[in-house]
Protein backbone atom coordinates (compact mmCIF):
# COMPACT_ATOMS: atom_id res chain seq x y z
CA UNK A 1 0.00 0.00 0.00
CA UNK A 2 1.28 3.38 -1.05
CA UNK A 3 1.92 5.70 1.86
CA UNK A 4 3.11 9.25 2.08
CA UNK A 5 1.96 12.76 1.39
CA UNK A 6 -0.44 13.80 -1.36
CA UNK A 7 0.09 17.46 -2.24
CA UNK A 8 -3.00 19.15 -3.63
CA UNK A 9 -4.27 22.44 -4.91
CA UNK A 10 -7.91 23.07 -4.17
CA UNK A 11 -10.04 25.88 -5.51
CA UNK A 12 -10.18 28.44 -2.71
CA UNK A 13 -11.82 31.46 -4.35
CA UNK A 14 -13.25 31.85 -7.83
CA UNK A 15 -11.13 34.26 -9.90
CA UNK A 16 -12.39 37.72 -10.71
CA UNK A 17 -10.52 38.71 -13.86
CA UNK A 18 -7.08 37.14 -14.10
CA UNK A 19 -6.27 34.00 -12.19
CA UNK A 20 -4.18 34.66 -9.09
CA UNK A 21 -2.16 32.24 -7.00
CA UNK A 22 -4.50 33.05 -4.14
CA UNK A 23 -7.37 31.39 -5.99
CA UNK A 24 -5.82 28.08 -4.95
CA UNK A 25 -5.32 26.58 -1.54
CA UNK A 26 -2.33 24.28 -1.02
CA UNK A 27 -2.96 21.28 1.16
CA UNK A 28 -1.19 18.08 2.14
CA UNK A 29 -3.12 14.91 2.84
CA UNK A 30 -2.15 11.31 3.29
CA UNK A 31 -2.30 9.22 0.12
CA UNK A 32 -5.55 7.22 0.09
CA UNK A 33 -5.92 3.58 -0.81
CA UNK A 34 -8.28 2.47 -3.54
CA UNK A 35 -11.46 0.65 -2.53
CA UNK A 36 -12.94 -2.15 -4.61
CA UNK A 37 -13.30 -1.05 -8.24
CA UNK A 38 -11.05 1.97 -7.73
CA UNK A 39 -7.64 2.86 -9.05
CA UNK A 40 -4.86 4.98 -7.56
CA UNK A 41 -3.04 7.06 -10.19
CA UNK A 42 0.22 8.91 -9.67
CA UNK A 43 0.36 12.14 -11.64
CA UNK A 44 3.32 12.39 -13.98
CA UNK A 45 2.24 15.29 -16.19
CA UNK A 46 -0.50 17.80 -15.46
CA UNK A 47 -1.82 19.56 -18.53
CA UNK A 48 -2.59 23.28 -18.16
CA UNK A 49 -5.28 24.47 -20.56
CA UNK A 50 -7.29 27.65 -21.08
CA UNK A 51 -10.47 25.75 -20.32
CA UNK A 52 -9.24 25.41 -16.72
CA UNK A 53 -10.24 29.06 -16.32
CA UNK A 54 -13.83 28.17 -17.28
CA UNK A 55 -13.97 25.38 -14.70
CA UNK A 56 -12.78 27.80 -12.00
CA UNK A 57 -15.69 30.14 -12.72
CA UNK A 58 -19.35 29.48 -12.12
CA UNK A 59 -20.48 30.70 -15.52
CA UNK A 60 -22.88 28.32 -17.30
CA UNK A 61 -20.47 25.82 -18.85
CA UNK A 62 -20.10 22.46 -20.51
CA UNK A 63 -19.30 20.51 -17.33
CA UNK A 64 -20.08 21.22 -13.70
CA UNK A 65 -17.69 23.89 -12.45
CA UNK A 66 -15.12 22.94 -9.84
CA UNK A 67 -16.71 23.65 -6.49
CA UNK A 68 -14.99 25.78 -3.88
CA UNK A 69 -12.95 23.46 -1.70
CA UNK A 70 -12.63 20.74 -4.35
CA UNK A 71 -9.30 19.63 -5.76
CA UNK A 72 -8.73 21.61 -8.96
CA UNK A 73 -9.64 19.55 -12.02
CA UNK A 74 -6.96 18.88 -14.62
CA UNK A 75 -6.06 16.56 -17.46
CA UNK A 76 -3.44 14.21 -16.09
CA UNK A 77 -1.11 11.68 -17.63
CA UNK A 78 0.05 9.26 -15.03
CA UNK A 79 0.77 5.74 -13.95
CA UNK A 80 -1.40 3.30 -12.03
CA UNK A 81 0.15 2.69 -8.62
CA UNK A 82 -2.51 0.42 -7.17
CA UNK A 83 -5.59 -1.10 -8.74
CA UNK A 84 -8.67 -2.79 -7.42
CA UNK A 85 -10.27 -2.62 -10.85
CA UNK A 86 -9.90 -5.54 -13.29
CA UNK A 87 -9.23 -3.22 -16.23
CA UNK A 88 -6.08 -1.64 -14.81
CA UNK A 89 -2.84 -2.99 -13.48
CA UNK A 90 -0.03 -1.31 -11.57
CA UNK A 91 2.38 0.21 -14.08
CA UNK A 92 -0.28 1.02 -16.69
CA UNK A 93 0.17 4.45 -18.22
CA UNK A 94 -3.15 6.27 -18.27
CA UNK A 95 -4.67 9.63 -18.97
CA UNK A 96 -7.84 11.17 -17.63
CA UNK A 97 -9.56 14.15 -16.13
CA UNK A 98 -8.14 13.96 -12.63
CA UNK A 99 -6.79 16.67 -10.36
CA UNK A 100 -4.01 19.04 -9.40
CA UNK A 101 -2.42 16.62 -6.98
CA UNK A 102 0.26 13.98 -6.69
CA UNK A 103 -2.17 11.09 -6.46
CA UNK A 104 -5.80 10.68 -7.49
CA UNK A 105 -8.22 7.94 -6.55
CA UNK A 106 -10.42 7.23 -9.59
CA UNK A 107 -13.82 6.12 -8.38
CA UNK A 108 -15.52 3.15 -10.02
CA UNK A 109 -18.34 5.28 -11.43
CA UNK A 110 -15.73 7.49 -13.07
CA UNK A 111 -13.46 4.72 -14.32
CA UNK A 112 -14.55 5.14 -17.94
CA UNK A 113 -12.94 8.57 -17.97
CA UNK A 114 -9.56 6.87 -17.50
CA UNK A 115 -7.87 5.80 -20.73
CA UNK A 116 -4.99 3.34 -20.99
CA UNK A 117 -2.15 4.50 -23.20
CA UNK A 118 -0.68 2.03 -25.67
CA UNK A 119 1.86 -0.44 -24.30
CA UNK A 120 4.62 -0.23 -25.43
CA UNK A 121 4.39 3.49 -25.95
CA UNK A 122 5.06 4.32 -29.63
CA UNK A 123 5.88 7.98 -28.92
CA UNK A 124 7.18 9.95 -25.97
CA UNK A 125 4.85 10.30 -23.03
CA UNK A 126 4.80 14.08 -23.50
CA UNK A 127 3.49 13.56 -27.05
CA UNK A 128 0.46 11.96 -25.42
CA UNK A 129 -0.04 15.11 -23.39
CA UNK A 130 0.31 17.23 -26.55
CA UNK A 131 -0.56 16.28 -30.13
CA UNK A 132 -1.66 12.74 -29.25
CA UNK A 133 -3.63 13.92 -26.23
CA UNK A 134 -6.76 15.98 -25.75
CA UNK A 135 -5.39 19.13 -27.37
CA UNK A 136 -4.34 17.19 -30.47
CA UNK A 137 -7.73 15.50 -30.73
CA UNK A 138 -9.37 18.89 -30.33
CA UNK A 139 -7.39 20.28 -33.24
CA UNK A 140 -8.07 17.18 -35.34
CA UNK A 141 -11.83 16.87 -34.92
CA UNK A 142 -12.53 20.60 -34.75
CA UNK A 143 -10.69 21.25 -37.98
CA UNK A 144 -11.67 18.18 -39.97
CA UNK A 145 -15.13 17.35 -38.70
CA UNK A 146 -16.47 20.87 -38.23
CA UNK A 147 -14.18 22.99 -40.40
CA UNK A 148 -14.20 20.53 -43.30
CA UNK A 149 -11.34 22.22 -45.15
CA UNK A 150 -10.88 21.40 -48.82
CA UNK A 151 -7.57 21.57 -50.65
CA UNK A 152 -6.96 25.07 -51.96
CA UNK A 153 -9.12 26.76 -49.34
CA UNK A 154 -7.80 29.30 -46.86
CA UNK A 155 -7.77 28.40 -43.17
CA UNK A 156 -7.12 30.98 -40.47
CA UNK A 157 -6.22 29.85 -36.95
CA UNK A 158 -6.18 32.07 -33.87
CA UNK A 159 -3.96 31.36 -30.86
CA UNK A 160 -2.01 29.65 -33.61
CA UNK A 161 1.11 29.05 -31.57
CA UNK A 162 -0.85 27.34 -28.82
CA UNK A 163 -1.24 23.65 -28.16
CA UNK A 164 -4.41 23.32 -30.23
CA UNK A 165 -3.81 26.02 -32.84
CA UNK A 166 -0.33 24.85 -33.81
CA UNK A 167 -1.64 21.35 -34.53
CA UNK A 168 -4.81 22.55 -36.28
CA UNK A 169 -2.74 24.71 -38.61
CA UNK A 170 -0.36 21.89 -39.48
CA UNK A 171 -3.26 19.53 -40.20
CA UNK A 172 -4.76 22.17 -42.50
CA UNK A 173 -1.43 22.32 -44.36
CA UNK A 174 -1.46 18.53 -44.71
CA UNK A 175 -4.93 18.85 -46.24
CA UNK A 176 -3.61 21.23 -48.89
CA UNK A 177 -4.91 24.53 -47.57
CA UNK A 178 -3.38 27.97 -47.39
CA UNK A 179 -2.88 28.47 -43.65
CA UNK A 180 -2.61 31.77 -41.82
CA UNK A 181 -1.90 31.91 -38.11
CA UNK A 182 -2.71 34.73 -35.72
CA UNK A 183 -0.55 34.96 -32.63
CA UNK A 184 0.90 37.47 -30.17
CA UNK A 185 4.59 38.02 -30.99
CA UNK A 186 6.91 38.31 -33.96
CA UNK A 187 8.95 35.45 -32.58
CA UNK A 188 5.90 33.17 -32.56
CA UNK A 189 5.01 34.36 -36.07
CA UNK A 190 8.44 33.28 -37.24
CA UNK A 191 8.07 29.93 -35.56
CA UNK A 192 4.75 29.35 -37.34
CA UNK A 193 6.03 30.19 -40.80
CA UNK A 194 9.61 28.93 -40.58
CA UNK A 195 9.24 25.84 -38.43
CA UNK A 196 5.64 24.73 -38.80
CA UNK A 197 5.11 25.65 -42.46
CA UNK A 198 2.28 28.16 -42.09
CA UNK A 199 1.91 30.30 -45.23
CA UNK A 200 1.63 33.51 -43.24
CA UNK A 201 1.36 34.69 -39.66
CA UNK A 202 -0.04 37.85 -38.12
CA UNK A 203 1.04 39.43 -34.84
CA UNK A 204 -2.29 40.70 -33.56
CA UNK A 205 -0.59 42.96 -31.06
CA UNK A 206 1.06 45.10 -33.71
CA UNK A 207 -0.86 44.53 -36.96
CA UNK A 208 -3.90 46.33 -38.28
CA UNK A 209 -5.92 43.15 -38.13
CA UNK A 210 -8.45 43.67 -40.90
CA UNK A 211 -5.91 44.76 -43.46
CA UNK A 212 -3.39 42.12 -42.36
CA UNK A 213 -6.01 39.40 -42.81
CA UNK A 214 -7.03 40.82 -46.17
CA UNK A 215 -3.41 40.80 -47.27
CA UNK A 216 -2.67 37.29 -45.99
CA UNK A 217 -5.93 35.87 -47.34
CA UNK A 218 -6.27 37.25 -50.87
CA UNK A 219 -9.01 34.69 -51.62
CA UNK A 220 -10.90 35.31 -48.37
CA UNK A 221 -11.31 32.96 -45.42
CA UNK A 222 -13.06 29.61 -45.82
CA UNK A 223 -12.38 28.15 -42.39
CA UNK A 224 -11.66 30.10 -39.21
CA UNK A 225 -10.54 27.87 -36.35
CA UNK A 226 -11.35 30.14 -33.43
CA UNK A 227 -9.68 29.76 -30.07
CA UNK A 228 -10.06 33.37 -29.07
CA UNK A 229 -13.31 35.23 -29.89
CA UNK A 230 -13.39 39.00 -29.37
CA UNK A 231 -11.87 41.51 -31.75
CA UNK A 232 -9.93 38.90 -33.73
CA UNK A 233 -13.15 37.08 -34.54
CA UNK A 234 -14.67 40.40 -35.56
CA UNK A 235 -11.80 41.13 -37.90
CA UNK A 236 -11.92 37.68 -39.50
CA UNK A 237 -15.69 37.98 -40.03
CA UNK A 238 -15.07 40.90 -42.39
CA UNK A 239 -13.21 38.53 -44.75
CA UNK A 240 -15.13 35.26 -44.62
CA UNK A 241 -16.25 33.65 -47.84
CA UNK A 242 -19.65 32.32 -48.74
CA UNK A 243 -20.44 29.21 -46.69
CA UNK A 244 -17.45 29.70 -44.39
CA UNK A 245 -17.11 27.35 -41.43
CA UNK A 246 -16.06 28.55 -37.99
CA UNK A 247 -15.23 25.77 -35.54
CA UNK A 248 -15.60 27.50 -32.18
CA UNK A 249 -12.99 25.87 -29.98
CA UNK A 250 -12.36 28.52 -27.38
CA UNK A 251 -12.90 32.11 -26.35
CA UNK A 252 -9.76 32.80 -24.39
CA UNK A 253 -10.05 36.57 -24.94
CA UNK A 254 -13.20 36.52 -22.83
CA UNK A 255 -12.48 34.14 -19.96
CA UNK A 256 -11.04 36.76 -17.65
CA UNK A 257 -13.77 39.31 -18.32
CA UNK A 258 -15.36 40.85 -15.26
CA UNK A 259 -18.28 42.44 -17.10
CA UNK A 260 -20.69 41.14 -19.73
CA UNK A 261 -18.89 41.29 -23.04
CA UNK A 262 -20.54 41.66 -26.40
CA UNK A 263 -20.47 39.04 -29.11
CA UNK A 264 -18.94 39.93 -32.47
CA UNK A 265 -20.04 43.25 -33.92
CA UNK A 266 -19.90 41.65 -37.36
CA UNK A 267 -22.27 38.87 -36.33
CA UNK A 268 -24.46 39.80 -39.29
CA UNK A 269 -21.83 38.41 -41.64
CA UNK A 270 -22.89 34.94 -40.50
CA UNK A 271 -26.17 35.66 -42.23
CA UNK A 272 -24.79 37.56 -45.20
CA UNK A 273 -22.20 34.89 -46.00
CA UNK A 274 -24.43 31.99 -44.96
CA UNK A 275 -21.67 30.86 -42.66
CA UNK A 276 -21.72 28.29 -39.90
CA UNK A 277 -20.40 28.72 -36.36
CA UNK A 278 -20.29 25.54 -34.36
CA UNK A 279 -19.10 25.08 -30.83
CA UNK A 280 -17.50 21.79 -29.86
CA UNK A 281 -15.48 20.23 -27.11
CA UNK A 282 -13.44 17.13 -27.30
CA UNK A 283 -15.70 15.16 -24.98
CA UNK A 284 -18.12 14.82 -27.91
CA UNK A 285 -15.46 12.97 -29.88
CA UNK A 286 -14.04 10.61 -27.27
CA UNK A 287 -15.51 7.53 -28.99
CA UNK A 288 -13.45 8.37 -32.08
CA UNK A 289 -10.12 9.28 -30.52
CA UNK A 290 -8.31 6.30 -32.06
CA UNK A 291 -8.78 7.99 -35.45
CA UNK A 292 -6.97 11.07 -34.21
CA UNK A 293 -4.14 9.07 -32.65
CA UNK A 294 -3.72 6.97 -35.81
CA UNK A 295 -3.53 9.96 -38.18
CA UNK A 296 -1.60 12.36 -35.99
CA UNK A 297 0.83 9.60 -35.05
CA UNK A 298 1.44 8.88 -38.70
CA UNK A 299 1.96 12.56 -39.46
CA UNK A 300 4.46 12.84 -36.61
CA UNK A 301 6.33 9.82 -38.03
CA UNK A 302 6.38 11.45 -41.45
CA UNK A 303 7.71 14.69 -40.01
CA UNK A 304 4.57 16.54 -41.09
CA UNK A 305 3.56 17.53 -37.59
CA UNK A 306 6.01 19.14 -35.22
CA UNK A 307 5.19 19.95 -31.68
CA UNK A 308 6.82 21.63 -28.75
CA UNK A 309 6.12 21.12 -25.12
CA UNK A 310 6.92 23.68 -22.48
CA UNK A 311 7.55 21.80 -19.27
CA UNK A 312 7.43 23.49 -15.89
CA UNK A 313 8.90 21.35 -13.13
CA UNK A 314 6.97 20.79 -9.94
CA UNK A 315 3.32 20.71 -8.94
CA UNK A 316 4.00 23.63 -6.61
CA UNK A 317 4.46 25.87 -9.67
CA UNK A 318 1.09 25.11 -11.28
CA UNK A 319 -0.80 28.12 -9.87
CA UNK A 320 1.79 30.51 -11.27
CA UNK A 321 2.48 28.63 -14.51
CA UNK A 322 -1.15 28.69 -15.60
CA UNK A 323 -0.87 32.45 -16.05
CA UNK A 324 1.37 31.77 -19.06
CA UNK A 325 -1.73 30.63 -20.96
CA UNK A 326 -3.14 34.12 -20.77
CA UNK A 327 -0.09 36.36 -21.11
CA UNK A 328 0.98 34.98 -24.48
CA UNK A 329 4.42 33.93 -23.28
CA UNK A 330 4.45 30.35 -24.41
CA UNK A 331 4.50 28.16 -27.48
CA UNK A 332 2.88 24.78 -27.90
CA UNK A 333 1.69 22.69 -25.00
CA UNK A 334 2.18 23.82 -21.42
CA UNK A 335 2.55 21.04 -18.87
CA UNK A 336 3.62 20.62 -15.30
CA UNK A 337 5.96 17.76 -14.58
CA UNK A 338 4.76 16.44 -11.24
CA UNK A 339 6.78 13.24 -10.94
CA UNK A 340 9.19 11.10 -12.91
CA UNK A 341 8.21 8.88 -15.82
CA UNK A 342 8.65 5.16 -15.11
CA UNK A 343 12.06 4.07 -16.32
| DSSP label of 12 | -
Q: How far is the CB of 306 from a second copy (least distance, A)?
A: 28
321 lies in the site for a second copy, by CB under 8 A:
no
60 lies in the site for a second copy, by CB under 8 A:
yes
Instruction: State which residue, 146 or 196, has the beta carbon closest to a second copy.
Output: 146
In this chain, which stretch among 9-17, 181-189, 192-200, 246-254 interacts with a second copy, using CB under 8 A? 246-254
Site string for a second copy, 221-240 (x = CB under 8 A): --------x--------x--
Q: What angle do CA 184, 186, 192 make, to 5 degrees?
A: 85
CA 323 distance to own-chain centroid = 14
Window 251 to 310, contacts with a second copy (CB under 8 A):
251, 254, 260-281, 284
Separation CA 47–CA 34 (nearest Å): 24
Q: How far is the CB of 111 from a second copy (least distance, A)?
A: 23
Instruction: State which residue, 128 or 141, has the beta carbon closest to a second copy.
Output: 141
211 lies in the site for a second copy, by CB under 8 A:
no
Number of residues that bind a second copy (CB under 8 A): 34
Separation CA 274–CA 271 (nearest Å): 5
Separation CA 343–CA 341 (nearest Å): 6
Q: Is-cis flag, bond preceding 137, omega within 30?
A: no
Three-class SS state of 299: helix
Instruction: State which residue, 55 or 198, has the beta carbon closest to a second copy.
Output: 55
Separation CA 171–CA 60 (nearest Å): 31
Instruction: State which residue, 120 or 260, has the beta carbon closest to a second copy.
Output: 260
Task: Kindly tell me the sign of the dihedral angle through the C-alpha atoms of 194, 145, 73, 253.
Answer: positive
Quick count: other Cβ atoms within 10 Å of Cβ 39?
26
317 lies in the site for a second copy, by CB under 8 A:
no
Q: How far is the CB of 273 from a second copy (least distance, A)?
A: 7
Question: Using CB under 8 A as the criterion, which residues of the chain lie in contact with a second copy when the complex forms?
Answer: 59-62, 229, 238, 248-251, 254, 260-281, 284
Amino acid sequence: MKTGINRQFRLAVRPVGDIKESNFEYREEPISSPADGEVLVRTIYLSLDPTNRIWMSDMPQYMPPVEIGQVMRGVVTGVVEESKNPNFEPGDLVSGMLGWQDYTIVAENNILSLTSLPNPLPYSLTAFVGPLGATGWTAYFGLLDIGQPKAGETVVVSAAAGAVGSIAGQIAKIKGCRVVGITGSDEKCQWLTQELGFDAAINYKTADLESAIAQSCPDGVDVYFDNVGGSILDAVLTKINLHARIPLCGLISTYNATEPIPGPYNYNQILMKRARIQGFIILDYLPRWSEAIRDIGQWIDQGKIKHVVEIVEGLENAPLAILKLFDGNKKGKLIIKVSEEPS
